[in-house]
Structure 1
Amino acid sequence: MNLSAYTKEFSANFRLAYPVILGMLGHTLIGLVDNIMVGRLGTTELAAVSLGNSFVFIAMSAGIGFSTALTPIVAQGDAAKDTAGIRAALHHGLLLCTLIGLFLFTIVYFATPLMDAMGQPREVIEMARPFIGWVGFSILPAMIFQGYKQFADGMSQTKYDMYAVIFSNVIHIGLNYLLIYGVWGLPKLGIMGAALGTVISRIALVLYMHFALTNDKILKPYFKGFSLGEFKMAMFKKIAGLGVLSSMQMLFEVALFTSAVWLSGFLGKTSQAANQIALSLASLTFMFAMGLSVTAMIRIGNQKGLKDYVNLRRIARSIILMAIVVEAVFALLFVALHNVLPYLFINAENVAHVADTGEVIAIASKLLIIAAVFQLSDGLQVVVLGTLRGLQDVKIPTLITFIAYWVVGFPLCYFLGVHTGLGAIGIWIGLLAGLTAAALFLYLRFNYLTNKLIHKDGEL
């Protein structure tokens, strides 16, 4: 099959992907804005937000991973014209997402004492503790939003997420500016202002999404007839069966990156702040691959509903190729600008922190070189994972991600970061190894499954 067979799908991929990418960039922007605005207060404040967000980030990632089960189920139902199945998936999914949100908030709230056992700097812990409580509460509205979003994505209506996130970010940036710095007579709340801005903006996110979807002519009928009597255990099991394992896949990866935050804390607050700068920028570019991963879930779910496995593999490979091209561009930008980008997060004119600032910038610039290298591995693994979720194949990929991140990645992060002279650079080399292993073996799994489906279909 020649290259044009794949590139001709780029426009269809882009139409679905760009609203998802912009929406995900908006979600990432919430944390990025917090880091940039709080970074102006000092390196201790930046390290505290980094530590606090690491707890919430793990919980949110687990919840988002669970909610992704809705997208392939809805996409398959949409292609198969299964209206009743789509409606059932929406109602059951919204309830499950709400319950998961409450559960994750409770876990985060009672997990804060773990900071004392993690060897983090004392001044960072004291500042992070109240921040976690408020940002942890924002998980609940964020998870309810995920239920709406994954349903809309499955119906190929990806623009609603984008509009909702733009709306919430306008609120978030404005509130952050007012509450962090104490503008217009408001109290100067510092990092607590960032926490309150996050909570309020995520509540606004849910309200916008509910109003938009329930007033859409195509989607509105699916919201009617919501009652406890309609819930069936079979649908709960179907969503949970896919959702729990999808959640574990995302949790394994996010926990690996979060361990990098914690391990860098052992090296001191400058390494921790530098790690957060590199992680924030890498997370920003990762959203492009995540958008293509959602596109893969939608399009592969559609093809699964149509039982067209030859086109399924061709479309999947077109999305994978597109991800490689996009991530290669970002890799080049990271290399070209590695000495410039850290200044976005640090107030270099703050004389009181001049020594810390110089060290943070020096470390962060080196980390960005490694981040540039693993752009390709990171993009490939998440897009292939999206194709496998579209096929509703989650068991073996869960095992692959665990081995890649926690048998390969974390031991290298720990050894190279803590027990050699590489420091934070060694931690990021371990991250690169884990991502590369995941990308390789997930693609082998996808290739095996599609070959099997095409061969089986040809025998019928």
Structure 2
Amino acid sequence: MKPTAIAETRTMTVIALPLIFAYLADVLMVLTTKMVVGKLGAVEMAAAGISTDLAYQMCIVLMGFFSVVGVLVAGARGANRREDIVPELIRGLVLAGMLGLGVTFIVLNLGTVLRFTGQDAEVIRLSESYYTGFAFAILPIVWFGVLRSFAAAMMKTGFVLAITVAAVALNYVLMQGLVHGSFGLPRLGIAGAALAWAITMWLKALCLGAYIFLLIRRQGLPLGRVAAASPVAYAPLVRLGLPVAGIVAMEIGLFAVTALLSGAMGAGQLAAFQIVMGWISVPFVISLGFSESAMVRVAYFAGASDQPAARQAGHLGMAVGVAVPLLLVLIPVLAPEQLTGVFLDPADPLYGQIAALVATLLLIGAVFQVFDSLQVIASHVLRGLKDAVMPMVIAAIGYWVIGLGGAYVLGFALGWGVAGLWWGLAMGLAFTAALLAWRFELLSRRQFSM
């Protein structure tokens, strides 16, 4: 029976809130890196910022892939197939380990990417010691993503919040200490920030892993047909996960390429991009939390063959997940210089130029955040219906043809600079959001009537 809209909103919020705060904590760790390293100088912040973005965004692609573990687990719960729940988790962890090692190798060679894309020579030099250390944080980041997706599907996200908040506090102490020599720790400069990431991520993943193990035992979930070594057993995960990873990769790639294009315009433009992206990520993860909540609810009702409830969950997720972050994104528009001051020392030679760029980009960011929120939620609720291939095609056109194409034309051909890059992003996100939301409306009717 379909729950009332109020009851469903309450259930989704209960699932989403711990995830939102956990995602916010992740964002805070990225912001902490930029703020702590930024006190060394604008170029140092640009180096740490672009290295973190490129490395962490590859992790986000893998976490997108393994978010389907939550879909498969929620579907098994909805259909009352208890014997399939734990095997889905185990297969996710095994495959995450293999793919995580591949990403680790890529991160260790980020210098090649930075040189090929024409980044500032000093940015490249400073980045090397940072991304070399950050590579050791890749595996725990990816494993934590798998465990978090499982916890969301099981509607047990409170511990995810607790461990993530604790990790933020630990990361700040380690980063402040290892970068600047505070708290009696050795002063390692920019390399210390990467070491802080690695230590924190390993502790975070191990703690959540222990909690999930206890949860499985407490609920008496059977191991079932684990078949972790059988390639055939991985087929549902790979079949659904690959196009989802493709969607995430195209979105992440869009922002990564935009960051590289900003860097090609100069260190000041790159620093401004990093500051604004740091703030924009806050309202975005609120939408992301609601999108994961809506995804597992749609998957649960789809597993139970309850069409009205699945459609309602998708609609509510899109409505709430756009409205709430929109309020937040407007806040710094009223005081852009204060936001710049959080990241940079006002005595920095590039401060005036960067502050002016930040003020412009915040206005544009307020426009495209609406579409960014809608497209991520629409993509997730479609994922709950196990629809990922066509959304990937839509994303490819929206992100790379309209978004990146528009960004290049406006930013370089028409000479609008970094502001033109952001207007291009807004165009691509608007196209993608509209088509994905329309597809959910059509597919959620058609799929259940077949």
Q: What TM-score does the superposition give when structure 2 sets the normalisation length?
A: 0.95
Pair 391,95 (structure 1): closer, same or farther in 2 beyond 3 Å: same
Query: Counterparts of 1:407-426 in structure 2 under 5 Å?
Result: 407-426=401-420
Q: Deviation at 1:220? A: 6.0
State the AA in 2 paired with 1:152.
Answer: A
Query: Counterparts of 1:130-169 in structure 2 under 5 Å?
Result: 130-169=129-168
Number of corresponding residues: 448
Distance 1:297 1:22 in 2: 18
Residue 36 of structure 1 corresponds to 35
Residue 267 of structure 2 corresponds to 269
- Among 317, 320, 329, the residue aligned to 1:319: 317
Does 1:397 pair with 2:391?
Answer: yes
Per the alignment, in what secondary structure is the counterpart of residue 188 of structure 1? coil
Distance 1:193 1:223 in 2: 43
Q: Deviation at 1:454? A: 4.2
Residue 447 of structure 1 corresponds to 441
State the AA in 2 paired with 1:433.
Answer: M
Pair 79,219 (structure 1): closer, same or farther in 2 beyond 3 Å: farther
Pair 331,172 (structure 1): closer, same or farther in 2 beyond 3 Å: closer
Q: Deviation at 1:164? A: 1.9
Residue 23 of structure 1 corresponds to 22
- Among 428, 437, 454, the residue aligned to 2:422: 428
Per the alignment, in what secondary structure is the counterpart of residue 359 of structure 2? helix
**What is the root-mean-square deviation of aligned Cα atoms in Å?**
1.9
Per the alignment, in what secondary structure is the counterpart of residue 30 of structure 2? helix
Residue 341 of structure 2 corresponds to 343
Per-residue CA deviations over 1:229-253 (Å, capped at 9, x if unaligned) read 6543333111011111111111100
Q: Deviation at 1:394? A: 0.6
Query: Counterparts of 1:359-378 in structure 2 under 5 Å?
Result: 359-378=353-372
Residue 205 of structure 2 corresponds to 206
Distance 2:49 2:193 in 1: 12
CA contact (8 A) 1:75 1:156 kept: no
Query: Counterparts of 1:181-330 in structure 2 under 5 Å?
Result: 181-216=180-215, 221-222=220-221, 231-330=229-328
CA contact (8 A) 1:388 1:394 kept: yes
Q: Deviation at 1:5? A: 6.0
Pair 27,219 (structure 1): closer, same or farther in 2 beyond 3 Å: farther
Q: Deviation at 1:318? A: 1.1
Distance 1:66 1:313 in 2: 23
Per-residue CA deviations over 1:203-233 (Å, capped at 9, x if unaligned) read 0011111221222366664486898x65433
Pair 165,294 (structure 1): closer, same or farther in 2 beyond 3 Å: same
Q: Which runs of 5 or more residues in structure 1 are unaligned?
A: none
Per-residue CA deviations over 1:242-282 (Å, capped at 9, x if unaligned) read 11111111110011111111011111111100000001111
Per the alignment, in what secondary structure is the counterpart of residue 216 of structure 1? helix
Per-residue CA deviations over 1:380-417 (Å, capped at 9, x if unaligned) read 10111110111110100011111100010001111212
Query: Counterparts of 1:94-133 in structure 2 under 5 Å?
Result: 94-133=93-132
Distance 2:10 2:265 in 1: 46
Q: Deviation at 1:418? A: 2.1
Residue 171 of structure 2 corresponds to 172
Give aligned-pair identity as a percent.
28
Pair 90,8 (structure 1): closer, same or farther in 2 beyond 3 Å: closer
Distance 1:400 1:130 in 2: 38
- Among 375, 380, 383, the residue aligned to 2:374: 380
CA contact (8 A) 1:138 1:202 kept: yes
Distance 2:56 2:232 in 1: 31
CA contact (8 A) 1:50 1:261 kept: no
Distance 2:216 2:136 in 1: 33
Q: Deviation at 1:54? A: 2.8
More moved, 200-209 vs 82-91: 82-91
Q: Which runs of 5 or more residues in structure 2 are unaligned?
A: none
Distance 2:229 2:86 in 1: 11
Q: Deviation at 1:6? A: 4.1
Residue 51 of structure 1 corresponds to 50
Does 1:437 pair with 2:417?
Answer: no
Distance 2:92 2:361 in 1: 39
Per the alignment, in what secondary structure is the counterpart of residue 9 of structure 1? helix
Distance 2:223 2:200 in 1: 27
Pair 185,292 (structure 1): closer, same or farther in 2 beyond 3 Å: closer
Q: What TM-score does the superposition give when structure 1 sets the normalisation length?
A: 0.93
Q: Deviation at 1:185? A: 4.3
CA contact (8 A) 2:86 2:224 kept: no
CA contact (8 A) 1:378 1:436 kept: yes
Distance 1:36 1:404 in 2: 32
More moved, 364-373 vs 105-114: 105-114
Per-residue CA deviations over 1:63-107 (Å, capped at 9, x if unaligned) read 111111101100011111111111210111111111111111112
Query: Counterparts of 1:77-88 in structure 2 under 5 Å?
Result: 77-88=76-87
More moved, 324-333 vs 380-389: 324-333
More moved, 396-405 vs 50-59: 50-59
CA contact (8 A) 1:45 1:127 kept: yes
CA contact (8 A) 1:385 1:442 kept: yes
Distance 2:5 2:101 in 1: 43
CA contact (8 A) 1:49 1:128 kept: yes
Per the alignment, in what secondary structure is the counterpart of residue 422 of structure 1? coil
- Among 350, 353, 356, the residue aligned to 1:356: 350
CA contact (8 A) 1:334 1:372 kept: no
More moved, 144-153 vs 172-181: 144-153
CA contact (8 A) 2:296 2:384 kept: yes
CA contact (8 A) 1:79 1:302 kept: yes
Pair 230,419 (structure 1): closer, same or farther in 2 beyond 3 Å: closer
